[in-house]
Amino acid sequence: MSRLSASLLILLIAATFQAKSEESAAFNTAAELYRSQQFIEAKAAFLALANQNHARANAILGMMARFGEGGPIDLTQAFEFYLSSARAGYAPAQYQVAVMFEEGEGVNQDQSQAQTWYTAAADQGYEKAIDRLTQPLQPAASDARQTMLSRVWNLNLPEQFKQALPPATPIPERLGIKVQLGAMSTKDAAIDLWQLIRDELPQQSRALPITVSRFKGADQAEIFRLRVGDFSNVPQAKDFCDSVEKLSRRPCWVVADQAQW
């Protein structure tokens, strides 16, 4: 590489780093305005970021339009903001788009589109989408009914709508990657499901550790998550899910590290 090319590369990297730093600072400023309940100013600051295709800013604007912060409640606008963020690959927004399609909020009800967006979010390991797809017989709780949570939101999606409870059984936590096989209404139902899967897939399920943990989100029915595995990497976990879906026709999703959000 010539000295000129190397210099240009260094300048490009420096410019990119500066742009990212400025974007992060702008987001933090908008977040502080929101936390201080200066919603009109916060909305303007997030809009400036959204105009630069900032996925999280679009998701936040969707939430603000949904709950009437910085302006009147506008579900159609909320859906459009969420959709922009979802198309950029932001899993929490993909989940919200799915909910709005399922409930017919701000958009015509479309169960097929809801399934598509739930799946997109679940494919990234987004827990609420995985819960929805592994509990098909239970109705989804609409986040639109959770207005009070918006006021204390900490701008760290997806934690704003999530409230984890202690494990239902004292099973030590494993550090490996897990998959979720069910979200059942009772602990016993989750354990029964695992026994069925073990009967169907004796070779694949042998010696795999399981965890049944209780979860209850705000304004949401209590569920018990059946999670399996101590997989060393994501491809290994996906291979197990492929076997489950092929041989037993049951849903299976790799659970992502929530720190990524």
144 secondary structure, DSSP code: G
Q: For every one of its 261 residues, what pLDDT tens digit does the chain have, with 9 covering 90 and above?
A: 555 555 445 445 444 444 455 567 888 898 898 888 899 999 999 999 999 999 999 999 999 999 898 999 999 999 999 999 999 999 999 999 999 999 999 999 999 999 999 999 998 888 888 888 887 544 444 444 333 334 334 444 333 333 332 333 333 444 578 898 888 888 888 888 888 888 777 877 777 888 888 887 766 678 888 888 888 888 888 888 888 888 777 888 888 654 333
pLDDT at position 2 is 55
Contact in structure between 23 and 12 (CB atoms under 8 Å): no
Which residues neighbour 221 within 8 Å (Cβ) at sequence distance 6 or greater?
138, 141, 185
pTM of the model: 0.64
Q: Other CB atoms closer than 10 Å to residue 205's CB: what's the count?
A: 21
DSSP 17-75: HHHHHHHHHHHHHHHHHHHTT-HHHHHHHHHHHHTTT-HHHHHHHHHHHHHTSSS---H
pLDDT at position 197 is 80
pLDDT at position 64 is 92
d(CA 135, CA 133): 6
3-state helix vs strand vs coil in the chain, percent to 5: 55, 10, 30
Q: Would you say domain 3-159 falls under CATH 1.25.40.10?
A: yes
Identify the helix (H) or strand (E) that includes residue 184: strand 177-184
* In the chain, domain spans: 3-159, 163-260
- Options 3.50.50.60, 3.30.70.1070, 3.30.420.10, 3.90.1170.50; CATH for 163-260 is 3.30.70.1070
Place of tokens 């694949």: 204
